[in-house]
Structure 1
């Protein structure tokens, strides 16, 4: 039996790393190993883990045993565990090529191994200064007990599922392609405010899945045709030839998504539907990425990490200074964030070209987002964390035409769009540069404040800037708001 402490920066949502951590910890526990999970931020995923009998805590002092090895996800969370258990070896896993928390932690002797889930993550670790000889690739496992292989493979695709993290323009192209081919399409994921926990069932109900990375692997295992897509582009149709390229190939790497997603590209991909190849793909994925195979790889690595550490720990090794130097900049940034969030007056302004804002139907001209004669969200974002209080909302722009019969509007939402804080119709205004001006009350702190400007097909207007201003305590008191 090996005692393993997992670290994760967040253990609340259904991101790939969180689900991979939960499933791996559960499977290792079933094999007789002792596991626990440390994460500074806990939520529903932590509750789910506890219901499965897996200890989870955000207080590193409450870990009730000394682990034999620290399985580190995310650099800052791993650093905390390294400080808490100064004589325990560790390994670090890179899950993402862009996220700051997936960059390499301090390059200590105690971290005797590094793991990349694919070739792109391996390359990131090398750039971060990790000796390539210390890096091995272990993919996220696919739980074949949940993502079962289908009994019947459709000869012609009739239903499809799109899994997306972002509400981006490529979704419209996929919708158009499926409509052209007569394929019924369902869209799920955080990008459209529809997070589901039954993907294993949904994959069996469709013939085609648009996804990438972990979701793609799971869908392949069920026997669906998988077309690699996300907001970055098109990665091709998964085939036995693509799978044979392994973890260095396009099937596991985000950085290969260079071709633009267009209706014609997706139509061509859908026409490559091949039942025989799908059957073979699902069998290969089950063999290579099944939980048993991946668990064996992890167990072997844990033993190597522990053995390597035993051979070098006789030397006097002092990590404290390096760990303190590494963590201190994060603490400074937390202090800056605290001061910003607790200031009595905040003013946020975003022009139409700001990367924190997105558009489904708009056309950017300079820094202003214009309507295009299509109904939909012209502008939405920026997903701000806001403290409770009273806020002034202003939309700067110009209205040329508004159809009174079909209302265009701006609404303010949070909790992935499930909670609507306010909604106001857009109307012709005497102030040509302001198309919306109203106040909202935020009753409690929120993490994903979003403004959405929706246009009817008949409307013609442009949005220059979104502005959110937290009113001062005196202003709020004058309006009778408790602060």
Structure 2
């Protein structure tokens, strides 16, 4: 298959960007031809280009006519659909609140996918889709990278904050205070904290407990770490055998973060650490979030959509002029912010500081 993947950015090593990287490499390993279209490019784009994958922000520089478009984000998906007018699309939502994940309606989109029930609700509760028309394809973990460590410590000693969003200005100070009171050493990695780690799989084995959400949480669990779902949005709590299925249904994400991450609330969750329970959670996530099976399922979806499109089947949710206006109006401001941040980081930092003062 010729597969075109879209993403708003292929620049940093964040959620959907690493998702695209892993997916593209595995699809190519299976004999498919893959290209990537992004509106903003950066370090990750260059890495993929060096691996021989065509990543471009110019549709005219694509080398293949795709059989299928695996689409993330509305504004760039709209550009691709208008360029490849006779190619079917599978549209994915990874985020409940992002303007870029507002679902796009178009006759060429034959399949709509969400990564969890929270994103599925965005389709049918907020945008008048029928619930039965939305399929969930959960986030995966690549166990070739994130392998289970040989021993899980009975005594909690070291913790890690594994997040691109937590830092000294939001929840990290409370986490440090809670860990200090319990005699637990804690460190942090991620873009927002300035401690960037491009290969977390090489260090996660050092930690007994990880504070994370979504894909990062899944990756940490696969290595044998206990996980507390936590972010600037709030505190979800320790993943245990009693709640792991429910937490997975909502992608270990924002829908679960109902508590305030105060020091005392964090201490209560940290005290739930149990090495026996942790290994059961890890075994569950390794089995249920299998990367190879997930990509095989995506290939099946692609093949079905391609066949249906050839048989003149069209998507039931049609586009409208009002939809175009809505998407352009609410995405262009955010896209401009992305571009300024990417190309002029010092200017972006100054503007953020200036307007916060105002």
On whether the aligned pair clears a TM of 0.5, the verdict is: yes
Q: Select which of 108, 111, 117 maps to 1:110.
A: 108
Q: Tell me, which stretches of 5 or more residues in structure 2 are unaligned?
A: none
Q: Measure the CA separation in 2 of the matches of 1:383 and 1:23.
A: 23
Higher helix residue share: 2
Q: 1:118 to 1:334 in 2, by over 3 A?
A: closer
Q: Measure the CA separation in 1 of the matches of 2:339 and 2:18.
A: 25
Would you say the 8 A contact 2:99–2:330 is kept in 1?
no
Q: 1:5 to 1:282 in 2, by over 3 A?
A: same
Q: CA deviation at 1:8?
A: 0.8
Q: Measure the CA separation in 1 of the matches of 2:48 and 2:141.
A: 18
Q: CA deviation at 1:284?
A: 1.4
Would you say the 8 A contact 1:119–1:252 is kept in 2?
no
Q: 1:243 to 1:335 in 2, by over 3 A?
A: closer
Would you say the 8 A contact 1:163–1:189 is kept in 2?
yes
Which sits farther off after the overlay, 80-89 or 189-198? 189-198
Q: Measure the CA separation in 2 of the matches of 1:337 and 1:282.
A: 37
Residue in 1 that maps onto 2:230: 229
- Runs of 4+ in structure 1 off by over 3 angstroms are 166-169, 322-338, 382-386, 450-453
Q: CA deviation at 1:452?
A: 6.7
Residue in 2 that maps onto 1:282: 282
Q: CA deviation at 1:52?
A: 2.0
Residue in 2 that maps onto 1:33: 32
Q: Measure the CA separation in 1 of the matches of 2:289 and 2:219.
A: 9
Q: CA deviation at 1:465?
A: 7.4
Residue in 2 that maps onto 1:19: 18
Q: 1:257 to 1:44 in 2, by over 3 A?
A: same
Q: Measure the CA separation in 1 of the matches of 2:48 and 2:321.
A: 31
Would you say the 8 A contact 1:385–1:448 is kept in 2?
no
1:68 equivalent to 2:52? Answer no
Aligned to 2:236, the other structure's residue is in SS state strand
Higher strand residue share: 1
User: Structure 1-normalised TM-score?
Assistant: 0.67
Deviations 1:219-263, CA, capped at 9 Å, x for gaps = 0000001011111111111112222336434x5331221111111
Aligned to 1:9, the other structure's residue is in SS state strand
Q: 1:383 to 1:331 in 2, by over 3 A?
A: closer
Q: 1:325 to 1:34 in 2, by over 3 A?
A: farther
Q: Measure the CA separation in 1 of the matches of 2:226 and 2:330.
A: 44
Q: Measure the CA separation in 2 of the matches of 1:279 and 1:153.
A: 7
Q: Measure the CA separation in 2 of the matches of 1:136 and 1:209.
A: 30
Would you say the 8 A contact 1:385–1:449 is kept in 2?
no
Q: Measure the CA separation in 2 of the matches of 1:323 and 1:82.
A: 14
Q: 1:335 to 1:308 in 2, by over 3 A?
A: closer
Q: CA deviation at 1:451?
A: 7.0
Q: Measure the CA separation in 2 of the matches of 1:58 and 1:465.
A: 32
Count of equivalent residues: 352
Q: Measure the CA separation in 1 of the matches of 2:264 and 2:205.
A: 26
Q: Measure the CA separation in 1 of the matches of 2:304 and 2:230.
A: 37
Would you say the 8 A contact 1:384–1:448 is kept in 2?
no
Q: Measure the CA separation in 1 of the matches of 2:162 and 2:77.
A: 30
Residue in 1 that maps onto 2:158: 159
Residue in 1 that maps onto 2:257: 257
Deviations 1:184-238, CA, capped at 9 Å, x for gaps = 1101222222221121122111111001111100000000010111111111111
Residue in 2 that maps onto 1:9: 8
Aligned to 1:4, the other structure's residue is in SS state strand
Q: 1:335 to 1:204 in 2, by over 3 A?
A: closer
User: Structure 2-normalised TM-score?
Assistant: 0.89
Higher relative contact order (CA 8 A, sep 6+): 2
Q: Tell me, which stretches of 5 or more residues in structure 1 are unaligned?
A: 342-381, 389-413, 420-445, 454-463, 468-483
Residue in 1 that maps onto 2:308: 308
Would you say the 8 A contact 2:9–2:17 is kept in 1?
yes
Deviations 1:300-329, CA, capped at 9 Å, x for gaps = 11112112222325x8x9x8xx47765456
Q: CA deviation at 1:63?
A: 1.5
Q: 1:295 to 1:16 in 2, by over 3 A?
A: same
Residue in 2 that maps onto 1:448: 349
Q: 1:61 to 1:325 in 2, by over 3 A?
A: farther
